[in-house]
Amino acid sequence: MVGNLWWRAGASYVSVRGAMIARAPGPGDDQDYVLGGTDKEWMPALHKYLRLQGLELPHFVTSFASCCPSRTSFFTGKHCHNTNITSNGLLRGSAFKFFDYGLDHDYLPLWLQAPSLFLAGL
């Protein structure tokens, strides 16, 4: 009786574990160039508006992996501790803080619109 119980428990574990492994994970916030997380089928807007327009950053590295601090560093050219955007939460991060701190007055999208900026394809 006890042996039969252990056999059933083991078989149940194997079938549940197999179902968990077989399920493909959905896309997340940590998209990865090497593992294909930035491919066209996962991120069509990225492909359409950036990659097809000539922007691709396969070797980009960030100093802070969390979303809001990383994006703030990218857009401002400053480390997150210099912008005070240090997390994703409302207290120390988020787009609201980005705009509240006035970081949108001097950042990458504005720099790229400067009339004196000359961009040439290499």
**Which residues are the active-site residues?**
67
Helix, strand, or coil here: 96? helix
Q: DSSP character for 13?
A: H
**Among candidate residues 81, 70, 78, the one with its CA nearest the CA of residue 107:** 78
Q: What is the spatial distance between Cα 19 and Cα 38, in angstroms, rounded to a whole number? A: 26
End-to-end CA distance of the chain: 75
Tokens 């400067």 belong to 114
